[in-house]
Structures are given as structure tokens and as C-alpha cells.
């Protein structure tokens, strides 16, 4: 058989196979069970539901749980003739109730329009079936979907116009009012006329009575109602979509723990139990055959087959063309080889001719001037030729350079490669252009760019090196100057905006990694425009240079000073907080208040300084610059000299809302591993005299995933205002107890761990009981824990506070009065307080060596505390002199950066011997 005949037979076979596959597909999809219809051969045993202690306690405190069912949603949930809720959702919830032993109370509302608002108002705790949509995520917590639904198009059996979705355009369509999918149908088909009904049964009635051309309802609901109410004039036309509105259990948003419990219940339902519920309410049924889809599949298969045949034909033609091209290339290659041989012969002849003409070009080489000189070296490195221009460039005679060349080389690293390049040339290799550095006859360094090549004889043997040296000294100096100008200000010598931005971004990253603050100062010279306009630009330039000099006299080596343009300067202070920035700003003000000497006259100009602090005022350089710039204009406008940036009230409100939301979300995660945003760090406390470790203070840190580290000064008051402080404290106590147990089990003697208690918590009469129970629940001991209560908090409810403190101390918990000296506690209250420690606020320690007032306060607090039989601890000790002063005046214990910054528990690897309690 010919090749063409074989191709026709193969094509015919492929077409027959395609048609057979399409017919098989049509017959296979005519009858499908809507939910699979496959029963589990052997019922799987029920899964065990394990609730932790917190979940059990929560259920006990919140039962009964109020649940509502949509009463018009068969077979998922509906009201039977006896007025009872029935259906898949009801049986599922009932099974969860039995597995979890939850007491559900069924709400009497059965209309969706009543149930949904009630759930929003917290009158209903749980809705049995709700679609998890984005706009509902802030009102509800959802389980995973457990009811899966598909929308179908239902028409009168005599309707031949509507065969698929496209046939709905311009028709009257029955839709259930207030159902979410109804709105989506109207958005997709704005030309239809909606016929609103109260239930899906009413939608079927509208089709039966020809009040509507079609209805869009859930498939299972339609099938259930059709069988129950004997709708004989209805047919399924096609699917509208598949699994578009799957139902979950919806729980009120402030009970995320319940959503987790119910999910455990759903997960515990075995496949056999799910099948039993489905078999109760579903039965296999004949689905509508989507003939249009089948037709599309068949046509697609035919088109694919046709395309495949065309492709096969094209490939055969292409192979013939490739073979023809290969033959032509082989012929061309043979012709090229012949041509190559002819050219090689010609080159050999020309080489001899070029050797004869060498003398013609020697005069050209010898006349090279200014930047270039030509040279030749024999295999021993001896110069056999140098063009006269070497004298013009370096100042040496040809004899001097030839004899003492190696002595003129500098110690630049590039010179170490000269021998390697020369050796490679002598081996016949081509080397790249390289640079060398020499001293000229005046002792100045000159940079030469060298192009060297092997020097070959008639037999292609290397007999030396020849090359051209190019003096690029001026070019390199120009490039270096241009490079310097691209990073530094030419007038003042300070960093320019480009270099400042680059260094600032590096400094921000470093400070963020080390969790340190950073200050950015934006400085503007007052009345500079007056000087520049009245005395001229030369005088203005002198002012700018003098300003830069004064700025340099203040900054540290680690600081970054820059001129941003005009009379605007910036200064980065790594590690500086607001107080440190304020000190530098005052120094700068003092420097710039001195008169400028211009044209034998003195002028007082002054400056305006804006200050922004990282990360409080921004996490990137652009934000910090903008904030500092705004603060500078505020300072200039108010003639204040310097000012810190102050954000707009709306910005503060927005940030507050974001932080409140995210703090609540973080706590709702119920996560206590390394991925949790909230962390606990520990700062050591020491005996003042022996310096031995006596315990730690636990401090909270919040590492926001987007905003970075949030200061406790910001989020603790926010937690108090938003009502999250109690939950935050419970988390803190839980973490500290867990850490204490870990240390105890590993043999680390850690003394006592101090935890700060909010003033708002003191008004809770159950506070002491809750804390003691929580310590016990986590297998910790009360005598491991010390609670720090702010002095000012005692003034709000002294009687309740004293009672709470007595209950805690009776249980073994230590009590410390924090920030003592900043409030106005009366001696009567102090005498009656059952506190073990009085803690001196760090504001009195900071300047204790220079302030007689602070010294007097500290001495009085120590004396009074000892008279009341209470110990004293001072916080904020940063220097040895401060420590010595406190020790000399009888302070019992100290803490501060002199001993340790707050660090994570993982960094406390040592096991120090504990001192006796001071």
C-alpha cells in the first residue's frame, strides 16, 4: 500500500475511535446519582472526640448553646407537619451534640430574615447552615463546610426555549427573596425579570402554574420538594453551577473556641454516619443530561483529532524539508572547506608580505605621544624596544625605564599579576587587558592599562611579548571624583541624599534586628534665604560650609550626617531614643545660636529641627524623613527650635483600630509556640551587694507581622481600653508558669519571676482566686511568682487592692509595689499594704548621681520601706556608679542594663547559683 493510502487508513481509524469515545461518554453521563450513591461496606467506628480542659470549662460556663435552623430549607433543615425541625443539618447537629455532650437550645426563629439579624445581635449563638462569605468573616467564626449544594435550572416540562444558562436572558425567573445567590443571578443576568417567592416550594409552584419561565434553586431541595408534593409538570433543564454555596456551621465571632469545638465534632463523624444521614434524606435520581456540554465535548474531540491529523501532515512535510536542507548544508560545508584552504594559502603569502612592510609602521609607533607607548620584551622579560612616548608619559629615559622598570612598580595588588600575564603570553595565550601602577620620575603614582600579545616568528613560535600601554591616570581620577560626587555633597563634604538614604536603610535594618531605637533629625537653617539673597551665593555657600562643620562637631562616629539640598540637613542617631535625640537637638541649637562671620559682619541665624524616632514614627526612611520634615516645619512655625513629629489624629485612630483588631486576632489564635506574635522576655534581678541573681522580671513584647515591634507603652494601654487586658494577663501568667516549670524540671534555680498586673484588674474581686487557680492548673508553685502592682493603681481602689494582695500573699505569691515615687500613696496605705518589695522607679535612678532631689527621694524611700519591714529594689540601673550609690544607701536589690537587657528564655543558658533573698 502506498504511503498516502496508509495515511488515509490511519486517519479513518482515528476518526472512528473519536466517535466511539464520544458515544460512550454520552451514554455514561445519562444517569448519575447526585451524591455518589456508594455505601461504605463496613461501618467505620465513631471517632473519639477529645476536648482539652479549657474547652470543657468553656462549655460548662456557656451551656446551653442557642442554635437556630432555617425552617424552609429542605432537605437540609425544615419544619415537618408536627412543627419540628428535621433534615440533614438537624441530624448532623444532633449527632455532634451526642458526641460532645453539648446542650443545644433550639431557637424558635425559622425564617432566615429573622435568624440572621438575631445572630448579629448575639441573640443566637450558632446558625446550623450558613455560607462562609468574605463579608461575614468579621461577624462569625465558621467550621469547614459539611453540606454541599449545587444550583439547577428548573422549567416547565413543555418549555423548549431554556436549555442552559444562556437561555435565561430576558425571561421571568423565580428567585427566593433574601437569598444570597438570588443577588448573584441578577448581577450575571440583568435582563431577566425576577419573580420573588418566599421559599423554594413557592418557586416550583410558580413553574407549575406558568407564573415564571424558570426557577433557580438548589438541586437536592428541588428534588425533595418535587417528590414530596408531586410536581408533575416540572423538569430539570441543566446545572446553573456546581458546589457554589456550601454550608458551614456559623458561630458568633466572640466565641472562636466554640467553632473549634464544633469542628472537632464534625471531624468525629465517620463516613458511615455521614452516609446514614444522607441515605435518610437523599435517593438516587436521574440528573438532567447536559446535551450541550456533551455536544461541545464531541465537537472538541473531533476538532482535536482533525488538528492532530493536520499536525501529522505538517510534520511529514517539515521532515522532508529538513532532509533537503541537510543535504544542501553538507554540500555548502564541502565548498567552505575548499574555500578555507584557499584562504589559508593566501594568508601565508600575506604574512610574508607584512613582515617586509614592518618598517613602514615602526615610525608610526615611535611617534606615539601623550597617553600611549609601545613595547617589546624577550622571553627573559628584558625590553627589546620602547617607543619614545614612554619619556613623555613617565619622565624616564628609555634606558632608565628598561633597566630599572621593576623598581618603579608600586605595591598595588594589581602588579602581582604582571608575571602571570607575561608567562601566559609567552605560552602563546591571549590575555585580557590588565592594569599596572608605577611611580613616575616625580614620585607620582601613574596607572597604565596594558594590552599584551604573544610575539610569534615565521614558524608560529613565541619569541617574546609586544604590547601597548595606555596612561589612564587622569581617567581614573575623574571617575573617582565622579563617584565621590555621586555620594557626597561637593560643597560641604557631607553625605548627599543618595548615600544618606542607603546608609539610613542599612541602619534601620540593623536597629530593627537589634530591637533598638533610632532618631532622625531634620535641620533647616533659619534666615538662610535672607543671607543668600542679600549677600550673594558665595556668602550662602560659606554659611552652608560652616553649618556642616558645626554639625560634624556634634555627631559621633556612628552617626550619619547629610546635606539633603539647599539649607536642609539630616542626622541619623543609631540607638537614640526620644530623650537622647532631645539632648543632641539642644546641643545643635546651642551650636547654631552662635553668630556666623560673613564679610566681616556677624549674623545670628539659628535653626529649626524636626525629630522622628524609629520605629514609633515609621519603619522606613521615607516615612521617617516625611515625619521629621513635618516636625521641622512645625518647630519653625512655632519658633520652638526643635519639635518631635506628631501624627494626625485620624492616623492615630486608624493605627489604634488596626492594633486593637490585630491584638484580638493574635490572642484568638490560641497559639503559644515560636510563631506567636506575642513574646515574653526576661530581665534579671540581682542582690545589690553580692550581685548574685535572685530572680527575673517577665516583660511582654509584640512583634507585629506588618508593623514590626509594638512597644508595650502603646499596646498595654490599648489592651486596657479595649477590654483585652485580662486575656493578655492570663496569657502572660500561662507563659511564665510554663517557663518556670521547664526551668524547674531542668534543675535551674531561677528564684522568683515578676509579672506586672494592670490597674484595671485590681477591681476584680476574683483576681486573686483566678491567678492562684491558673498557677495551679499549669503545675507551677505560688512561691515562684511575684506580682508587680503599680503604685498609682492602689489609689483607685485601695480597699479592694489590699484585700486582693492579702489573698495572694497568703497563698505564697510575692507582691511588689512598682514605680514607687511616681504616685502619691499615703503612708497609711503603705503601712497596711501586704507587699514584700517596694520598687523605686527608674526615673529617680537615671540622674541620681547629679540630682540632690533624686538622691533625697531614694534615701527616703529606702529608709521608710525598711522601717515598714519591706525590701527595696531599684530598676533602671545602668552604671556602676549608680549601683554603688544604691548599695551604700542600703538598697536590697537592683535590675537594669548594667546587669542585662531583657532577653528571651532561650538565651538564659547559664545556671547561676541563687543568692539568699535580699
- Distances from the Cα of 793 to the Cαs of 765, 818, 820, 833, in angstroms? 15, 10, 11, 13
pLDDT of amino acid 47: 65
Mean pLDDT estimate for the chain? 84
pLDDT of amino acid 351: 63
Task: Assess whether 113 and 168 both reside in one domain.
Answer: no
Reference 803, options 756, 758, 765, 759; nearest CA is: 765
pLDDT of amino acid 632: 87
Non-local CB neighbours of 829 within 8 Å, separated by 6+ positions: 794, 795, 798, 802
Task: Assess whether 695 and 731 both reside in one domain.
Answer: yes
Q: Is residue 914 part of a domain?
A: no
Q: Is residue 487 part of a domain?
A: no
Task: Assess whether 367 and 461 both reside in one domain.
Answer: yes
459: how many CB neighbours lie within 10 A of its CB? Answer: 6
Q: Is residue 329 part of a domain?
A: no
Integer Cα distance of 657 and 647 in angstroms: 15
pLDDT digits (tens, 9 = 90+) for 496-510: 999 999 999 999 999
Q: Is residue 769 part of a domain?
A: yes
pLDDT digits (tens, 9 = 90+) for 96-133: 999 999 999 999 999 988 999 999 999 999 999 998 88
Q: What are phi and psi of 65, to 5 degrees?
A: -95, 125
Q: Is residue 326 part of a domain?
A: no
Q: Among 479, 508, 532, which residue terminates a domain?
A: 479
pLDDT of amino acid 610: 93
Reference 759, options 721, 812, 705, 733; nearest CA is: 721
pLDDT digits (tens, 9 = 90+) for 173-182: 999 887 778 8
Integer Cα distance of 319 and 311 in angstroms: 12
Q: Is residue 46 part of a domain?
A: no
Q: Does the pLDDT at position 35 exceed 50?
A: no
Query: What mean pLDDT comes out for the span 533-550?
Result: 87
Q: Among 455, 479, 503, which residue terminates a domain?
A: 479
Find the DSSP H helices in 578-724: 578-592, 621-638, 649-668, 712-722
Task: Assess whether 569 and 684 both reside in one domain.
Answer: no
Integer Cα distance of 871 and 892 in angstroms: 6
pLDDT band of 914, cuts 50, 70, 90: very low
Instruction: Give the CATH number of the domain where residue 673 resides.
Output: 3.20.20.450
795: how many CB neighbours lie within 10 A of its CB? Answer: 15
Task: Assess whether 673 and 779 both reside in one domain.
Answer: yes
Integer Cα distance of 292 and 576 in angstroms: 73
Instruction: Give the CATH number of the domain where residue 450 resides.
Output: 3.30.450.20
Q: Is residue 94 part of a domain?
A: yes
877: how many CB neighbours lie within 10 A of its CB? Answer: 26
Which has more pLDDT, 459 or 17? 459
Task: Assess whether 310 and 435 both reside in one domain.
Answer: no
Instruction: Give the CATH number of the domain where residue 220 resides.
Output: 3.40.190.10
Integer Cα distance of 484 and 480 in angstroms: 6
Reference 758, options 780, 785, 726, 803; nearest CA is: 726
pLDDT of amino acid 65: 96
Q: Does the pLDDT at position 829 exceed 70?
A: no
Q: Does the pLDDT at position 245 exceed 60?
A: yes
Task: Assess whether 830 and 703 both reside in one domain.
Answer: yes
Q: For the chain, what's the residue count?
A: 918
pLDDT of amino acid 797: 63
Q: Among 453, 479, 505, which residue terminates a domain?
A: 479
pLDDT band of 824, cuts 50, 70, 90: very low
506: how many CB neighbours lie within 10 A of its CB? Answer: 12
Query: What mean pLDDT comes out for the span 408-414?
Result: 91
Instruction: Give the CATH number of the domain where residue 632 resides.
Output: 3.30.70.270
Task: Assess whether 901 and 779 both reside in one domain.
Answer: yes
Task: Assess whether 588 and 470 both reside in one domain.
Answer: no
Task: Assess whether 722 and 761 both reside in one domain.
Answer: yes
Q: Please, are residues 594 and 610 in contact by the beta-carbon 8 Å criterion?
A: no
Give the residue numbers spanning the domain of 619.
517-646
Q: Using the structure block, give the residue that is written with the C-alpha cell 472512528.
A: 16
Q: Is residue 912 part of a domain?
A: no
Number of compact structural domains in the chain: 6
pLDDT digits (tens, 9 = 90+) for 651-692: 654 676 788 888 888 888 765 556 678 899 999 999 999 999
pLDDT of amino acid 42: 42
pLDDT of amino acid 30: 43
Task: Assess whether 124 and 204 both reside in one domain.
Answer: no
Task: Assess whether 742 and 639 both reside in one domain.
Answer: no
Q: Does the pLDDT at position 136 exceed 70?
A: yes
Amino acid at each position: 500500500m502506498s504511503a498516502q493510502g496508509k495515511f488515509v487508513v490511519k486517519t479513518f481509524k482515528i476518526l472512528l475511535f473519536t466517535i466511539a469515545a464520544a458515544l460512550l461518554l454520552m451514554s455514561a453521563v445519562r444517569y448519575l446519582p447526585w451524591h455518589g450513591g456508594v455505601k461504605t461496606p463496613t461501618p467505620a467506628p465513631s471517632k473519639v472526640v477529645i476536648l482539652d480542659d479549657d474547652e470543657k470549662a468553656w462549655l460548662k460556663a456557656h451551656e446551653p448553646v442557642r442554635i437556630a435552623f432555617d425552617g424552609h430549607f429542605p432537605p437540609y433543615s425544615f419544619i415537618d407537619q408536627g412543627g419540628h425541625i428535621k433534615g440533614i443539618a438537624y441530624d448532623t447537629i444532633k449527632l455532634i451534640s451526642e458526641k460532645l455532650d453539648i446542650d443545644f437550645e433550639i431557637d424558635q426563629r425559622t425564617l432566615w430574615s429573622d435568624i440572621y439579624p438575631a445572630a448579629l445581635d448575639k441573640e443566637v449563638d450558632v446558625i446550623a447552615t450558613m455560607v462562609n462569605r468574605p463579608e461575614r468573616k468579621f461577624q462569625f467564626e465558621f467550621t469547614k463546610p459539611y453540606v454541599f449544594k449545587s444550583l439547577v435550572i428548573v422549567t416547565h416540562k413543555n418549555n423548549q426555549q431554556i436549555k442552559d444558562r444562556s437561555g435565561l436572558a430576558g425571561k421571568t425567573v423565580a428567585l427566593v427573596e433574601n437569598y444570597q445567590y438570588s443577588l448573584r443571578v441578577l448581577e450575571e443576568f440583568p435582563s431577566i425579570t425576577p419573580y420573588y417567592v418566599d421559599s423554594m416550594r413557592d418557586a416550583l409552584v410558580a413553574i407549575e402554574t406558568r407564573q415564571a419561565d424558570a426557577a433557580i434553586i438548589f438541586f437536592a431541595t428541588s428534588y425533595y420538594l418535587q417528590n414530596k408534593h408531586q410536581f408533575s409538570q416540572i423538569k430539570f433543564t441543566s446545572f446553573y453551577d456546581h458546589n457554589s454555596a456550601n454550608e458551614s456551621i456559623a458561630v458568633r465571632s466572640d466565641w472562636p473556641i466554640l467553632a473549634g469545638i464544633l469542628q472537632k465534632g464534625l471531624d468525629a463523624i465517620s463516613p458511615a454516619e455521614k452516609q446514614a444521614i444522607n441515605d435518610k434524606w437523599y435517593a438516587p435520581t436521574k440528573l438532567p443530561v447536559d446535551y450541550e456540554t456533551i455536544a461541545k465535548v464531541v465537537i472538541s474531540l473531533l476538532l482535536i483529532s482533525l488538528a492532530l491529523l493536520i499536525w501529522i501532515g505538517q510534520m511529514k512535510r517539515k521532515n522532508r524539508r529538513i532532509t533537503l536542507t541537510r543535504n544542501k548544508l553538507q554540500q555548502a560545508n564541502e565548498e567552505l572547506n575548499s574555500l578555507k584552504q584557499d584562504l589559508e594559502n593566501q594568508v601565508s603569502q600575506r604574512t610574508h608580505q607584512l613582515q617586509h612592510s614592518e618598517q613602514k609602521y615602526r615610525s608610526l609607533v615611535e611617534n606615539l605621544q601623550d597617553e600611549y607607548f609601545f613595547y617589546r620584551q624577550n622571553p627573559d622579560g628584558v625590553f627589546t624596544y620602547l617607543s619614545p612616548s614612554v619619556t613623555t608619559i613617565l619622565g624616564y629615559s628609555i634606558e632608565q625605564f628598561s633597566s630599572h622598570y621593576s623598581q618603579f612598580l608600586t605595591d598595588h595588588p594589581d602588579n602581582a599579576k604582571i608575571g602571570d600575564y607575561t608567562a601566559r603570553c609567552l605560552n602563546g595565550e591571549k590575555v585580557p587587558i590588565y592594569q599596572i601602577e608605577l611611580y613616575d620620575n616625580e614620585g607620582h603614582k601613574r596607572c597604565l592599562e596594558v594590552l599584551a600579545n604573544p610575539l610569534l616568528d615565521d614558524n608560529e613560535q613565541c619569541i617574546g611579548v609586544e604590547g601597548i600601554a595606555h596612561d589612564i591616570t587622569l581617567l581614573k581620577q575623574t571617575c573617582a571624583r565622579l563617584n565621590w560626587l555621586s555620594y557626597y555633597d561637593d560643597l560641604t563634604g557631607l553625605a548627599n541624599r543618595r548615600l544618606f538614604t542607603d546608609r539610613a536603610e542599612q541602619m534601620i535594618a540593623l536597629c530593627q534586628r537589634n530591637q533598638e531605637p533610632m532618631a532622625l533629625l531634620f535641620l533647616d537653617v533659619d534666615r538662610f534665604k535672607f543671607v543668600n539673597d542679600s549677600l550673594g551665593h558665595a556668602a550662602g555657600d560659606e554659611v552652608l560650609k560652616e553649618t556642616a562643620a558645626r554639625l560634624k562637631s556634634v555627631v559621633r562616629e556612628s552617626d550619619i550626617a547629610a546635606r539633603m539640598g539647599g539649607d536642609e540637613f539630616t542626622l541619623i542617631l543609631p540607638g537614640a531614643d526620644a530623650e537622647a535625640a532631645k539632648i543632641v537637638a539642644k546641643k545643635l541649637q546651642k551650636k547654631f545660636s552662635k553668630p556666623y562671620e560673613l564679610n566681616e559682619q556677624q549674623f545670628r541665624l539659628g535653626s529649626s529641627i524636626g525629630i522622628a524616632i524609629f520605629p514609633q514614627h515609621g519603619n522606613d526612611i521615607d516615612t521617617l524623613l516625611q515625619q521629621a520634615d513635618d516636625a521641622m516645619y512645625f518647630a519653625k512655625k512655632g519658633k520652638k527650635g526643635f519639635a518631635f513629629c506628631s501624627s494626625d489624629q485620624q492616623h492615630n485612630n486608624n493605627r489604634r483600630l488596626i492594633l486593637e483588631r490585630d491584638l484580638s486576632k493574635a490572642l484568638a489564635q490560641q497559639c503559644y509556640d515560636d510563631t506567636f506574635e506575642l513574646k515574653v522576655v526576661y530581665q534579671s534581678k540581682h542582690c545589690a551587694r553580692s550581685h548574685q541573681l535572685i530572680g527575673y522580671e517577665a516583660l511582654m513584647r509584640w512583634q507585629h507581622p506588618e508593623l514590626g515591634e509594638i512597644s508595650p507603652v502603646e499596646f498595654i494601654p490599648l489592651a486596657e481600653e479595649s477590654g483585652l487586658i485580662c486575656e493578655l494577663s492570663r496569657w502572660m501568667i500561662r507563659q511564665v508558669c510554663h517557663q518556670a516549670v521547664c526551668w524547674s524540671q531542668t534543675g535551674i534555680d531561677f528564684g522568683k519571676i515578676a509579672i506586672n498586673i494592670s490597674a484595671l484588674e485590681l477591681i476584680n474581686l476574683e483576681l486573686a482566686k483566678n491567678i492562684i487557680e491558673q498557677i495551679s492548673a499549669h503545675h507551677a508553685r505560688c512561691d515562684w511568682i511575684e506580682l508587680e502592682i503599680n503604685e498609682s493603681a492602689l489609689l483607685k481602689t485601695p480597699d479592694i487592692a489590699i484585700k486582693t494582695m492579702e489573698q495572694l500573699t497568703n497563698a505564697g505569691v510575692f507582691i511588689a509595689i512598682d514605680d514607687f515615687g511616681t504616685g502619691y500613696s499615703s503612708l497609711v496605705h503603705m503601712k497596711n499594704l501586704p507587699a514584700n518589695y517596694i520598687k523605686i522607679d527608674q526615673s529617680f535612678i537615671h540622674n541620681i548621681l547629679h540630682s540632690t532631689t533624686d538622691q533625697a527621694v531614694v534615701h527616703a524611700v529606702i529608709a521608710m520601706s525598711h522601717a515598714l519591714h519591706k525590701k527595696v529594689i531599684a530598676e533602671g540601673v545602668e552604671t556602676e556608679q549608680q549601683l554603688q550609690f544604691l548599695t551604700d544607701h542600703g538598697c536590697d536589690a537592683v535590675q537594669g542594663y548594667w546587669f542585662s537587657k531583657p532577653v528571651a528564655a532561650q538565651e538564659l543558658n547559664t545556671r547561676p547559683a541563687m543568692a539568699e533573698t535580699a
